[in-house]
Amino acid sequence: MSISTTTTKMDGFSYNNIFETKGIEYLIIIAFLLLIIPFWIMINRQISIKSQIRNAIGTLSEGILKIPLGLLFSKNHTWTHLEKSGVAEVGIDDFLLHITGEVKFSGLKAPGSFINKGELLADIDHNGKILKVYSPISGKVTATNKLLTETPEMVSEDPYNRGWIYKMTPASGIEETDTYYMANEALAWSRIELQRFKDFLALSARRYTPEVSMVLMQDGGELCDNPLSGLPDEIWHDFQKSFLDDLSS
């Protein structure tokens, strides 16, 4: 197919009408741009969304764990704090909440109940997956935190102040807590627990869900926040035995 051109002579010279000679080429370029621009906008929007999602997903590292001074941490991830009045608060630690994600509480004891060290404090539920947490001390319950049932998400936001589970009158002295961690020891222990949890996932996730085991880790070997959240019941059961049921100390 040939493209006709229009040649015009003026004062001894001639010119070609480029809009007629290149008309099809220009139309092709314009059509290509009309196609590529929306695609380019869509790709960049997807990249932006992915970047926002990646930034929103926290990584579970020692830097984001809250380890306040003055609290005593047990190896089964509960804590206690003795107030000046002689009343002790107990709750679950920030490590456990970062591992699971937001939880709801059930099986809470009523004021007046007596709980021995190592007995059930409460069940915590994350989307139907249950973990049992055990008391770090023995004592009589004087108050149960009503906020745990009214606004359970508050526990993840403030586990050591508004997120306590019980106030208790301790039945024993400091000998019940003499193996617990405090201050710098608690910080060092949290680092050990994070590494132990990585090792745990390396075995347990590969055993039950090998196709997702690599997704749990982000760049640099950091854990994704709330790594247990999407994992099957079998891994939750293993976590219970490995991190919460060991009451030997």
Q: Give me the sheet containing 104-106, strands edge to edge.
A: 104-106, 120-126, 129-134
Model pTM? Answer: 0.72
Q: Which residue has the higher pLDDT, 135 or 201?
A: 135
132 three-class SS: strand
Q: How many CB atoms lie within 10 A of CB 197?
A: 21
The domain locations on the chain are 7-56, 60-249
Q: Which residue has the higher pLDDT, 194 or 168?
A: 168
**Report for 59-68, 140-149, 216-225: range of highest mean pLDDT:** 140-149
DSSP state of 6: -
* One CATH from 2.40.50.140, 1.10.3720.10, 2.40.30.10, 2.40.50.100 for 60-249: 2.40.50.100
Q: In terms of C-beta density within 10 A (0-12 exposed, 13-18 middle, 19 or more buried), how is residue 112 classed?
A: exposed
The rounded distance, in Å, linking the Cα atoms of 115 and 105 is: 17
Judge contact between 244 and 92, C-beta under 8 A: no
Confidence of residue 79 (pLDDT cuts 50, 70, 90): very high
